Amino acid sequence: MEGLAKIIGSNKGLSAVVAKEVGDHLSGKRFLILSLLIIVICLGSLYVAASTIRSSVGRDQLDFVFLRLYTSSGSSMPFSFISFIAFLGPLIGLTLGFDAINGERDRRTLSRVLAQPIYRDALINGKFIAGVMVVFFMIFGLGFLVAGLGIILTGVPPTFDELCRLLAYLTLSVIYISFWLALAILFSLLFRQTSTSALAGIAVWLFLAFFATLLAGMIADGIFPVSDNSNVDQVLANDKVKKTLSRLSPTFLYEEAVVTIMNPSVRTLGPILLSQAVGAIQGTLSFTQSLLLIWPQLVGLIGATLICFALAYINFMKQEIRA
Amino acid sequence: MTSKNNLLKKNFIVETINLTKKYGDITAVNNLNLQVEEGTVFGLLGPNGAGKTTTILMLLGLTEPSSGQAFVAGYDSTRNPIQVKSIVGYLPDNVGFYEEMTGIENLLYTAALNGIPKNQAKIRIEQALERVGLKDTGKRRVGEYSRGMRQRLGIADVLVKDPKLIIMDEPTLGIDPEGIHDLLNLIKDLAQQDGRTILISSHLLHQIQKICDKVGIFVEGKLMASGTIDELQHQLAGGSDHVEIELKTVPFDDGLLKICQKINGVLNYQWSEDYLLLQCEQDVREELSKKLYENNYLPLHLQLRGISLDSIYLRYFQKEEGYGGGFS
């Protein structure tokens, strides 16, 4: 803690920038609109999930009921909590960051702020930290809100294992949204117009959300065509190319990680041959085993976030202050 | 650094040594050697694109020079930008604020960036706002401010950090004449009452010259001349080996040329729209007037160029047209 205080103290202006940015985000209208939208949708999905669980609890044998609050969807609401966060999370990151630097340029505040006795990186670091903090509060707040309401609605308290999974899931989501925040900040440096940087962010989001996996599949099919009577090697090779290409996308990494961590019955992320499944003992993975399974995804997400932020950082430090 | 050097530097709050900035092939600032004494108002005058803003940014350590050094109060601007920025207040050209925040909130942010404790900051902000005449408007959102009010808020913003040196980039741009009058008085006040050094960059010589102790004329990245306005006039007049005389008479015809050619010392002539421009070895106005009188020519306009500030201005800023309108 002392070390942290020292770091913050020697980064002149950092805490002032963070405080101002957090205040700006929380009082800003667009953040209010976005969080209201997300809260309403998530509560809706929770309600549907809870009623589905309640109606099926007697009939089927259900385990991990608490986690199902986040993962199940009903007929009236086809999306679950986690799929909403996966879909709308990037939008939160983009909203918080798309005008980080070019907005300051537009308002002509950049040179005035940097003429104060602060290091230049305090501004971009402060903006990123403030964004991550806001995302953290928002995601954890939302996650716990759903947890609390879910317990009331279903009457089933979480086990320790489920709680660990929930915390891991929320942390993963914060990292994933931070990736989009870093990307948005990068775009706010590369494009001088705030509308262009917002559009660029949305374009990347739509591409990764809808087309990246499709494209990976098309490329894989092109290299290793698969038909009904292809042999095993061909099918495996096709799958490998497809997965490898897909895993270049943070969205895919996040989805894989979330499915594994929120679904204890997921035991592998690759294909399984019948011969491998023979003799396997029925059951679910423990939390640590699930975590082990998604470790590469987790590292990949953190890496992608840091690369984006590092690019933005370098660009910002080298950029001329005047327009 | 030896102590002797320190003593020498003591008087100059701003000093640049062969300061150069290149953007690709374009040299924005070329071997600039600028010295500003403590406690003076220095006007950096030059047309748009002369490299004034680039120089200022280098002084603040916001842009790295291609070569040369800039010192502010003895600190190297490139190596110690934090020390430099803590004693320099910068009012950028067309200053901007966070529109959705109030004036006071904007200044509080500046104070926080300067590490001023909040209770102290509030007192300073109140004083600064009172000084610039925004006492009652501080609680309104900056989005509602007029251009002149923003400029005054910018000065309050600078005053919050209590700087030794204030740098203003085109402070009078886009403000109505009355506003300019008030602004210049305020700037004069800051120098005389508070004893701060002020560096003003502008292309509007006429507005700035009233309050400047010294000016530097800056064209195409070079400092052409620097000194008090009197010094500058001598420097520029004495600097060239011939003088120029503007002449307009009634009648204004070719006969005039014949008279002029007879006068000793007239080297060359040039017709311009309004007058005949004579290049002479020395001031021949006395002889010229006599000859004109003898030949029944009535002089309407007879002026030595290079003596008045207008002509200095014209000579250097000729390339920039459009603000000549106000001269007479």
pTM of the predicted structure, to 2 decimals: 0.85
Among B22, B106, B113, which would you mutate to test the A interface (most chain A Cβ atoms within 10 Å of its Cβ)? B113
The predicted-structure confidence for B300-318, as pLDDT tens digits, reads as follows 888 776 555 666 666 666 5
Please tell me the predicted confidence (pLDDT) of residue B284.
82
Q: Phi and psi for A239 in degrees, rounded to 5?
A: -65, -40
Please tell me the predicted confidence (pLDDT) of residue B234.
67
What is the 8-class DSSP label of residue A280?
Answer: P
Shortest distance between the Cα of A183 and any Cα of chain B, in A, equals 24
- Residue B322: is its pLDDT beyond 50? no
Cα four-point dihedral sign B84, B90, B96, B102: positive
- Residue A143 — very low, low, confident or very high, per pLDDT cuts 50/70/90? very high
CA neighbor of B34 nearest in space, from B7, B70, B62, B9 = B70
Q: Which of A17, A19, A321 is facing B62, going by the closest CB pair?
A: A321
Q: Give the residue on B whose Cα is nearest the Cα of A123.
A: B113
The percent of residues in chain B predicted with pLDDT above 90, rounded, is 46
Please tell me the predicted confidence (pLDDT) of residue A142.
92
| Mean pLDDT, range A272-287, rounded to an integer | 82
- Residue A284 — very low, low, confident or very high, per pLDDT cuts 50/70/90? confident
Contact A117 B110 (CB under 8 A): no
Give the highest mean pLDDT range of A251-260, B196-205, B254-263.
A251-260
- Residue B320 — very low, low, confident or very high, per pLDDT cuts 50/70/90? very low
The predicted-structure confidence for A45-67, as pLDDT tens digits, reads as follows 888 888 888 777 666 666 788 88
Please tell me the predicted confidence (pLDDT) of residue A59.
63
Residues 81-110 of B with CB under 8 A from A: 82-83, 85-86, 88-90, 92, 94-100, 109-110
What ipTM was assigned to the predicted interfaces of this complex?
0.88
Please tell me the predicted confidence (pLDDT) of residue B241.
59
- Residue B7: is its pLDDT beyond 60? no
Q: Which of A107, A111, A117 is facing B62, going by the closest CB pair?
A: A111
Residue type, position A9, single letter: G
Q: Which of B63, B92, B98 is facing A320, going by the closest CB pair?
A: B63
Q: Which residue has the higher pLDDT, B105 or A72?
A: B105
Contact B62 A107 (CB under 8 A): no
Question: B99-102 long-range CB contacts below 8 Å, 24 or more apart?
Answer: B99/A107, B99/B141, B99/B142, B99/B143, B100/A24, B100/A28, B100/B141, B100/B142, B100/B143, B101/B141, B101/B142, B102/B138, B102/B139, B102/B140, B102/B141, B102/B142
Q: Which residue has the higher pLDDT, B302 or A258?
A: A258
Q: Which of A17, A20, A108 is facing B92, going by the closest CB pair?
A: A108
- Residue B2: is its pLDDT beyond 50? no
Residue B194 CA to its chain's centroid (Å): 21
- Residue B321: is its pLDDT beyond 60? no
Among A14, A31, A112, which would you mutate to test the B interface (most chain B Cβ atoms within 10 Å of its Cβ)? A112
Residues near A13 by Cβ (< 8 Å), separated by ≥ 6? A116, A117, A118, A119, A122, A123, A126, B112, B113, B115
What 3-state DSSP class applies to B297? coil
How far is residue B9's CA from residue B15's CA, in Å, rounded to a whole number? Answer: 8
- Residue A127 — very low, low, confident or very high, per pLDDT cuts 50/70/90? very high
Q: Which residue has the higher pLDDT, B132 or A268?
A: B132
